[in-house]
Structure 1
């Protein structure tokens, strides 16, 4: 069986990109990811796309292929909300290892900040609630996560100040990344004083709305470009879609199981990981996943974050590009940015945000309200 490697990655800047469309963003990262892999776009025989609020075509992968002028043997839209970026890599891994494809290009992107009316992107997310039992009562994604946060804080002792430290840590990482949307200094006091969005979550506890795109090339072996990164393990698990059907304790989410499967395939444990890139739609999302996956014991991630555990010199450098909280969140590309950053860390290309001697990376994507989970274990090739 062939082994799958990530051979090329690319991302655009995040933030306001009024000169771009969803398709132009896709095209930019497609060309740059192929160049990074050292191959021509005509050598792409697999294409995975996701979804776009501003280009809502039901066959987006075929639209993008047409736009790029390529005719891959396999083209499909594969989507799982915020877990899409990691799921693309997991799916591409299967396509390559089965022999169906040799070079699979994974593209995600949207211009939902400048390509939609103000507030339209947030309004669209309200439709993710259950049409019969949630939407009529005013549910939104922030409100759902606010409910989860209240329960988790009650049960574990996590505090607002702990979550503020998570937001500040990710902002400090983003300040080192030239493409990040938010690079202004942020303090714990700033986070604590920011306006409430969905109690207990405040403005800086929430992910950004951005224009931006990411491209990832998954290949059967090295392609002659940059050093290839091995995909050692992958796992997926979902326990629910709507919050009304989530595990009753609001703590037993699928990330625990998807991570266990990925670590099992890789023959590793959390102790073998040098850097982590974990989905952070809200500060509470990251706190729950870090504990559920096993990087921290239940009830300890808050104090650990306050003490610098997630910083570059900490026990587990995490979301070193700034994550969704500060780098940017442009739909499906939000989670793909985590993959891109993981690859750059393992290649030693992260500049002043580089984790010293990083050889292994854990990447995690989360879609819905802690609904769909995909875990990846990546390793620097010798």
Structure 2
């Protein structure tokens, strides 16, 4: 069997962009924002709609997302992928696009997402209705937050992780957001503010939870050969992995260990890298416990040491590891599904385009997506020219 290692460096991200963000108002649909982001990403790449021959998307707002988006934009793709794994889908789409390009199934892949969640509903919109009865239903969980609260409570019980440590995650995200003009929340935030805010699902307060915003994002991928002829510095795919162990949180055997422990190890192996080689980390931080668990599972610290790792500004600007440098889902924005924004920020950091939040000498980035109730996990490693 042909090894997946051959994909290292064969494709690159050549364009990224967001749509209008925050609260765009009732005049924009989710599809409008998806198209807007896609058009801007193609402009960023120096390509046009006629160059695109593959479309990747997932949506909770309209059916047949790739078919719908392609019709709207006038694309007639020869390859289409609407893999749906929740918020991690778009990171998985990158891995699928790289494989498709290497196989000759397409040449220019567009990955796009958009949501008007805040303007349309002001509340939670799931990435798909669950028509299968769950053993959890009689207990009336408030999903998804109750699932993540269970994990947080277990981590606190098993490892002595404190509420203050979880709050440090939210504070670090806000400090990065204060350096990002596009971030939705940029006001001052302290540990005491997080601890004293409204309880949503014990032990998580509202400041432990992601924002609800509008927004879209898009990523353009092509072969390394073609990428070098385009205007932006290519950001190369070095390795990636995806896994899912469960759907319902009650089926996760250990609430303190996610499938990121599998995807991280595989991605690093395929990329020929270690956690110590990573300069910037972009994680799906739907809740503060996500960041703690993913840092452990991806190998940046030992299991149970995530609380100490993030303490005292460890992942904030000036800390020992730059994490969620755009402000993350906790402060930058969270339009229903966040995964594509981990890719966009990784690319901007590796291209040196992040402005005041730019990480110096950033050559390797890790982007990690999460879907469902810690259900699907996808990890990719990206690098600049120096990593090939």
Given the two structures, how large is their TM-score scaled by the length of structure 2? 0.93
Aligned-residue Cα RMSD (Å) equals: 1.6
Partners in 1 of 2:154 and 2:350 — Cα distance?
36
The Cα shift of 1:341 comes to 0.2
- Pick the aligned partner of 1:228 from 231, 234, 237: 234
Q: Deviations over 1:162-196 (max 9, x none)?
A: 01111000011111112111111111111010010
User: Alpha-carbon deviation of 1:41?
Assistant: 1.2
| Residue 131 of structure 1, aligned match among 130, 133, 147 | 133
> How many Å separate the matches in 1 of 2:282 and 2:175?
15
CA distance in 1, matches of 2:236, 2:21: 27
Structure 1: where are the runs of 5+ without partners? none
1:25 alignment partner in structure 2: 33
Check the 8 A contact 1:176/1:352 in 2, yes or no. yes
- Distance in 2 (CA, whole Å) between partners of 1:149 and 1:125 is 23
Contact kept, 8 Å, 1:86 with 1:375, in 2: the verdict is: yes
Asked if 1:252 is matched to 2:257, the reply is yes
| Paired position in structure 1 for 2:197 | 194
Q: CA 1:148–1:130 in structure 2 vs 1: closer, same or farther (change >3 Å)?
A: farther
Distance 2:170 2:119 in 1: 24
Alignment of 1:9 with 2:16, yes or no, is yes
Counterpart selection for 1:375 from 364, 379, 387: 379
2:244 paired with 1:238:
yes
User: How far apart are 1:125 and its partner, in Å?
Assistant: 7.2
- How much has 1:241 moved relative to structure 2? 0.9
Residue number among 344, 348, 355 corresponding to 1:351 in the alignment:
355
**2:327 paired with 1:325:** no
Q: How many residues align?
A: 374
**Partner Cα separation in structure 2 for residue 43 and residue 13 of structure 1:** 24
2:281 to 276, 285, 301: 276
Q: Deviations over 1:279-335 (max 9, x none)?
A: 111000110110111101223222232222212322210000011111111123x11
Distance 2:21 2:183 in 1: 6
Residue 257 of structure 1 and its aligned partner are, at CA, apart by: 0.6
Question: Separation in 2 of the partners of 1:144 and 1:283?
Answer: 13
Aligned to 1:213: 216
Equivalent-residue separation in structure 2 for 1:345 and 1:129 (angstroms): 40
For 1:118-172, what per-residue CA distance to the aligned partner results, in whole angstroms no more than 9, with x for missing partners?
44x25x4795596231223212110111111111111111110001111000011
User: What stretches of structure 2 of length at least 5 have no aligned partner?
Assistant: 1-5
Tell me the residue number matched to 1:113.
118
Could you tell me which residue of structure 1 aligns to residue 58 of structure 2?
50
Q: Describe the SS at the equivalent of 1:114.
A: helix
1:256-267 → structure 2 map (5 Å cutoff)? 256-267=261-272
Whole-angstrom CA distance in 1 between matches of 2:190 and 2:21: 22
Verify the 8 A CA contact 1:194 1:204 in the aligned structure 2: yes
Against the structure 1 CA distance between its residues 109 and 27, is the aligned structure 2 distance closer, same or farther, given a 3 Å change threshold? Answer: same
Distance in structure 2 (CA, Å) of the matches to 1:264 and 1:315: 23
* TM-score for the superposition, normalised by structure 1: 0.94
Matches within 5 A, 1:361-372: 361-372=365-376
1:309 to 307, 314, 329: 314
Give the Cα separation in 2 of the matches to 1:66 and 1:287: 41
Indicate the larger mover: 259-268 or 312-321.
312-321
Residues 369/287 of structure 1: CA separation in 2 closer, same or farther (3 Å cut) = same
The answer on whether the counterparts of 1:22 and 1:52 sit within 8 Å (CA) in structure 2 is no
Residues 129 and 135, structure 1, Cα contact 8 Å, conserved in 2 = no
Asked if the contact 2:292–2:310 (Cα under 8 Å) also holds between the matched residues in 1, the reply is no
SS at match of 2:106: coil
| SS of aligned partner of 2:118 | coil
